[in-house]
Chain A
Amino acid sequence: GQQVMQIPQYQHVQEGEDFTTYCNSSTTLSNIQWYKQRPGGHPVFLIQLVKSGEVKKQKRLTFQFGEAKKNSSLHITATQTTDVGTYFCAGNYDGNNRLAFGKGNQVVVIP
Chain B
Amino acid sequence: KAGVTQTPRYLIKTRGQQVTLSCSPISGHRSVSWYQQTPGQGLQFLFEYFSETQRNKGNFPGRFSGRQFSNSRSEMNVSTLELGDSALYLCASSWGTGELFFGEGSRLTVL
Residues of A within 8 A of B (CB): 1, 33, 35, 41-45, 48, 88, 90, 95-104
Contacts and interface: CB of A to CB of B under 8 A. Distances in A.
Interface size, B (range)? 20 to 34
B90 interface: yes
Contacts of B50: 97
A13 B101 CA distance: 28
Contacts of B41: 103
Nearest to B98: A48
B55 A101 contact: no
A98 B102 contact: no
Interface of B: 31, 33, 35, 41-45, 48, 50, 55-56, 58-59, 90, 92, 94, 96-105
B45 A100 contact: yes
A76 B41 CA distance: 25
Contacts of A99: 33, 45, 100
Contacts of A97: 31, 33, 48, 50, 55-56, 94, 96-97
